Amino acid sequence: MPASSDRSTTVDAPVRWPGGARCAVALAFDLDGPTGNALIDGSIWRNPSFFTLGAYDVWRALPRLLDLLREQGLPATFFVPGWVVETWPERCRAIVADGHEVAYHGYEHEAFWQLSADDQRRVMARSRQIFENHLGVVPVGFRTPSGDWAPETAQILAEAGVVYSSSMRGDDRPYLIDIPGRERPLVEIPGRWELDDYASLAYQRNPNFPAGLDRIASYAATFDNWRREFDGTHRDGLCLTTLFHPKVSAKPGRLLLLERLFEHMRAADGVWFARCREVADWWLAEGHP
């Protein structure tokens, strides 16, 4: 993955956030619905429970989460597969109506690192058309739906008009990914597994995921982990984004964890809450590496 060569010389330089804020928080949610392998291989249609596991995401968890974000006055970014937008357009329009950002997340949550370059381009073009047709929005952001991408993916994203990605793990601040032949780099807003709710709360019996685990973490420990990640980000003036999923963390009991986490963040001094696209725009405008 090519990255700006001089980034390592400024690791300890303080970042100047808008309004003199101490740190940045870009809340982000992956609204996957029932997309993924079971949808791609068709098994989801032979086992209705697979479908309902995912449909709960959009049908039940999303409205609950939007209510919480509205109550707390917090902006967010939702990474949404095109299939989900196509299937539940009204639900997805509610995200836009509340002022949140929507961004690319594949069409059926494909593993981009397994797709040919042509197939990646087809997924991006199809997704763009769906977002335009159903939401009246052309996204500028992308999160890879599988945790990784192919060598040519960054180039393909740039061709598709994508300004930023939130797919990689290379820093705890944004950084730039140089695109050969293009003047403007791609802004990467890195996430961290510590802030992925799947890691602690997503166990399900069938399909068996995460494989080999037979429990979920306690809610108290989960909240404590998330709180400490924010506290470190705040202390060091960094940028935190989340890899949360409404179907995982916007269930009734878990929503209380989010509510407590958001209240803890809002109580801290100097936190810039922003959509991912605003973080990317700021990073480019300030000329950060």
DSSP state of 99: T
Q: Is the pTM of this model over 0.85?
A: yes
Whether omega before 207 lies within 30 degrees of 0, making that bond cis, reads yes
Res 116: pLDDT:
97
Q: Are 274 and 75 in contact (CB under 8 A)?
A: yes
**Rounded Cα gap, residues 128 and 151, in angstroms:** 22
Exposure letters 229-255 (e unless 16+ CB within 10 A, then b): bbeebbeebbbbbbbbbbbbbbbeebb
Give the rounded percent of residues in the chain with a pLDDT score beyond 70: 91
Average pLDDT estimate for 26-42: 94
Write the pLDDT tens digit of every residue in 187-242: 999 998 899 998 889 876 666 666 666 568 899 999 999 999 999 999 999 999 99
**Rounded Cα gap, residues 228 and 233, in angstroms:** 8
- List the structure tokens of 220: 């108290």
- List the structure tokens of 162: 């994508």
Report which of residues 14 and 34 the model is more confident about. Answer: 34
Angle of CA points 248, 186, 76, to nearest 5°:
35
Whether omega before 145 lies within 30 degrees of 0, making that bond cis, reads no
Q: Are 54 and 247 in contact (CB under 8 A)?
A: yes
Q: Are 64 and 250 in contact (CB under 8 A)?
A: yes
Write the pLDDT tens digit of every residue in 42-99: 988 998 888 998 999 999 999 999 999 999 999 999 999 999 999 999 999 999 999 9
